Homo-oligomer: A and B are copies of this chain.
Amino acid sequence: MMTQNIFKFPAKSEWQSLLTRPTLEKKNLRELVQDIFSEVKLNGDSALQDFSEKFDGVKIEQFSVSNEEIENASAEVSEDLKNAIKQAKDNILKFHNSQKNEINKIETQPGISCWRESRAIENVGLYIPGGTAPLFSTILMLAIPAKIAGCKNIILCTPPQKDGKINPVILFTAQLCGVEKIYKVGGAQAIAALTFGTETVPKVDKIFGPGNQYVTAAKELAVDNGVAIDMPAGPSEVLVIADSSANPEFCAADLLSQAEHGIDSQVIFIATDETIFEKTLEEINLQVEELPRNEIAKKALENSRFILLDSVENALEFSNLYAPEHLILSIENPENYIDLIVNAGSVFLGNYSPEAAGDYATGTNHTLPTNGFARNYSGVSLDSFVKKITFQNLTEIGLKNIGKSVELMAEAEGLFAHKNAVSLRLKSLENGI
């Protein structure tokens, strides 16, 4: 553990410097990605083929995954893993099903009904990174709410392996979730394909999913081209708050499970008990050595902060300023502190709620706002896959009740045709037509 990352009872005036995140060397990829977009827009599939050869080192003749490939995949996944994925699916389904809204018609005044109805975004694109560790869990997090919402076309893009195939766990999970349109294309070119459509890959209305810096830059460009995205991207992070009831072994494991994500991950540990604090630091040093990805985790720990504060209230004040993606409360009676939480993506309460549980299987979504975006964005939920359309129905009485007000306000804004649309109707009602 770097001693320069340890802060004991820092004054609030010093907090600002502790709230900084590792600055990303944000290369300007815009131009490069713009070129990829232009190419894909112009040349469609043939551009995708070129980029796959160039970036993924593989020649793809047929981007769409065949039914045969999907069916064969299942045989390559162990029954244990399949059952695990199914259990996760059930929980995610249950929680996201509970996010449906009843239609709630309100009579704002006699004769004026107003309500909202949800409609699925018709065409959604799910981007799933490939590479050595296939993030099949992200398929669960995106495809399940898309299905509940009733999205008509769920398009999954994921980069092919060197052998031109897709990892079987990805195919199994996609099939389990009812995703039928899977394409072997990754990187910025996949986002471009989803933005414009090609002969093979359909154009979508909204793009979801994580990715490297090229994918991130491409998603920003997709927005400029009228496609919505789930949320802005950034490195992953966790903030753990521990009091004397915490278990240092668990705290260390939770901090490391975030640190292993990438060298730009950040973990923040705040303890209110000095013994727990010291023991957790020791545990981190022990556990990190055992990890296959310990090089990554050690790098991430260099970005990290270990802070001793005098109360849980102060710890939460710090946490709200930091706005962590994940917040773990390893404290006694965590439910008593919930109202103090203002900015966070997902919160884990108590000693038996590790972040890893929520990453996979509690039922909550793991696509969450990072990089301080928990201040202004929610994580992915059923809401992310629908629009809410407002409806209003005015009876003659309803229009009479607000007609005069609308006329006055329209006139004051200088919009006389707006006024007229009401005046004509009021007049016809007076005339008893």
Contact = CB atoms under 8 A, between A and B. Distances in A.
A341 B389 contact: yes
Contacts of A399: 352-354, 357
A46 interface: no
A117 B391 contact: no
A394 B352 contact: yes
B250 A375 contact: no
Nearest to A109: B91
Nearest to A420: B253
Contacts of A354: 399, 421-422, 425
Contact of A250 (B383, B405, B425): B425
A227 interface: yes
Interface string A384-414: 0011111111111011001111101110111
A274 interface: no
Interface in A31-63: none
A415 B292 CA distance: 9
A11 interface: no
Interface in A133-189: 133-137, 169
Contacts of A98: 104, 106
Nearest to A380: B390
A228 B420 contact: no
B418 A257 contact: yes
B133 A415 contact: yes
A4 interface: no
A335 B106 CA distance: 16
A117 B338 contact: yes
Contact of A376 (B104, B132, B205): B205
A385 to B, nearest CB: 10
Contact of A356 (B104, B334, B377, B421): B421
A405 B89 CA distance: 11
Contact of A420 (B256, B378, B394): B256
A116 B365 CA distance: 11
Contacts of A375: 121-122, 205, 387
A23 interface: no
B390 A379 contact: yes
Contacts of A420: 253, 256-257, 287, 290-291
Given A133-B415, A360-B410, A361-B409, 11 more contacts: A85-B409, A108-B362, A256-B421, A257-B415, A259-B417, A292-B414, A347-B390, A353-B392, A356-B421, A362-B394, A378-B388
10 contacts: A91-B108, A99-B116, A114-B363, A116-B381, A134-B412, A226-B373, A256-B420, A354-B422, A356-B418, A378-B389
